[in-house]
Amino acid sequence: MLPDNLGYLFDTALALTPSKPAVLQGETVLTYAELDARSNRMANALAALGVTPGDRVALLFNNDSRFLETLFGTMRLGAVAVPLNIRMGDEALRYVTEDSEAGVLVASAALAERGRMLAAQIPAIKHVIADGPPLEGALAYEAALAAASPTLARRATAFDETCMQPYTSGSTGKPKGVLLTHGGQIWNTDIMRKALLADDTERALIAVPLYHKNAMAGAVKPFLLSGGSLVILPGFDALEVIRAIDRYKVTYLTGVPAMYKMILAEKAALARHDVSSVRYAVCGSAEVPDELLEEFRRVFGAPIAESYGLTEGGPVPVVNSRWGLKKRGSCGLAFPGCDVKLVDEAGSEVGVDEVGELVTRNPGLAKGYWKLPEATAKKFRDGWLHTGDLMRRDGDGYYYFVGRRDDMINVAGENVYPKEVEDILLQHPNLRDACVVPAPHDVKGEVPIAFVVAREPGQTTEDDVRRFFLERGAPYAHPRKVVFLEALPLGGTGKIDRTGLKARAREIGP
């Protein structure tokens, strides 16, 4: 039976295997019984500070099991957890924290000083709980837990009560708080668990940020629900990932393409360590190149499955299940119980293999945006979430990501989808990565500019790349300039920083 409160997600594992490791982190082993007791202690510690149901609690953590204790403790109390993106700049982080109206901020040891300084700028924050050495003006994390009871009376939780308020990245404006519900998150977690065939024998490695949906939806929630174990690394380091796979006999990985590329580049470490325990890997945030899929399967003997999600969407409405047919380049099928359709600008459904905006309706959808009724009304219409993501669907119902509506390039009235240009460029034998963005043009309105990474620097010219494209793609879509980089810049969630490259393209011009 599923709980009504996401904070009790691992009830079944607690009842059946209380002494089993829920979290493995360095030398720390946290059993399900210990995770439960410490989550209760955090709930009681927050209550002692005056936190009540509906109040916001800000979480400023790098990857650490205490993030999970604070997350679950906050939700058990009926309060709303606000996981903060620690890769944000100080100004953006201050905006998000202040906008959330959090009254308490809880920080990991590595971020304690940043948390104290942040709280000093925000009058609404009355209390800071910080792990690590004593910090002036903050309560010590372990002392706060030690002083609190390990038992907690359960409160009934409604399906549509808000449990978490993560913030969007702000790539298209100011970050927005997304209101996720207990019932919606439990529904999505259960569906994800089934799609992954997750069971209590799994050990899922987490090197992506815990505050991000990739970790939460792709590992934390489904594997705690199934009674598996989480192996938490403080951050991503390809060598440490390989060592952890060997040490903990990891069975499951979640990440983004750039991470898998860096892991596969560590050939000496892969030769030294046993990575045969890996059964399955999931990838989000960007399409996985065929070459990467093939090399990963050759090295690990396991597949990478692509999925699609966004914070507001449940967060995962489309995924490649562990079982069944997987198609190259596809992010999978719609979840059972999840309505998905592709529509044109007028709202009419498009046909098979035609490009349209993905809209979805499912029990896991966010309620809307925090304190933003107009943005909510624009994004959520008649029960459907309008994602702004362009996709096509084949005759078998598989979805293929084409790009963001905001990223589409209009060249003299012709729609150019960056991903289609990138796919052609990546067929070039000497190109490893590519990102195509618009630059303003006096006559055509916009034209494509390509930023590329060469496998062998200096062996390919800009003219070579343009000629290669023109032999294979539409002339109006060809990149007017090709800029070689050592690596494509990444944002805080591991995605290519298109916003930064767009700004650079505007400076360069066509």
CA 479 remoteness from chain centre: 30
DSSP string, 413-464: TEEE-HHHHHHHHTTSTTEEEEEEEEEEETTTEEEEEEEEEESSTTSS-HHH
CA–CA separation, 97 and 105 (whole Å)? 9
Task: Please report, for the domain that includes residue 489, its CATH number.
Answer: 3.30.300.30
**Amino acid 325: pLDDT:** 83
For residues 365 and 390, the answer to whether their CB atoms sit within 8 Å is no
**Amino acid 171: pLDDT:** 58
pLDDT in tens, 282-338: 987 767 778 889 999 999 999 998 888 888 988 778 888 887 788 888 889 998 889
**Amino acid 484: pLDDT:** 96
Asked whether the CA dihedral 61, 67, 71, 77 is positive or negative, the reply is: negative
Within a domain: 458:
yes
pLDDT in tens, 231-273: 999 999 999 999 999 999 999 999 988 899 999 999 999 999 9
Within a domain: 345:
no
Within a domain: 159:
yes
Task: Please report, for the domain that includes residue 149, its CATH number.
Answer: 3.40.50.980
For residues 303 and 293, the answer to whether their CB atoms sit within 8 Å is yes
**Helix 257-265 vs helix 290-300: angle between axes, to the nearest 10 degrees?**
50
Low-confidence ranges of the chain (pLDDT < 70): 170-173, 286, 492-494
Within a domain: 445:
yes
Our count of domains for the chain comes to 2
Q: Which domain holds residue 47?
A: 6-15+28-184
Within a domain: 471:
yes
CA distances from residue 33 to 40, 149, 222, 349 in whole angstroms, order as listed: 11, 14, 18, 50
**Amino acid 172: pLDDT:** 59
**Amino acid 307: pLDDT:** 86
Within a domain: 145:
yes
Within a domain: 195:
no
CA–CA separation, 11 and 23 (whole Å)? 15
Of 184, 203, 224, the residue that ends a domain is 184
| Beta partners for residue 252, in sequence order | 204, 280
Of 123, 150, 184, the residue that ends a domain is 184
For residues 214 and 493, the answer to whether their CB atoms sit within 8 Å is yes
Within a domain: 52:
yes
Of 162, 184, 206, the residue that ends a domain is 184
Q: Please, which residues have CB within 8 angstroms of residue 380's CB and are 6 or more apart in sequence?
A: 312, 365, 366, 368, 386
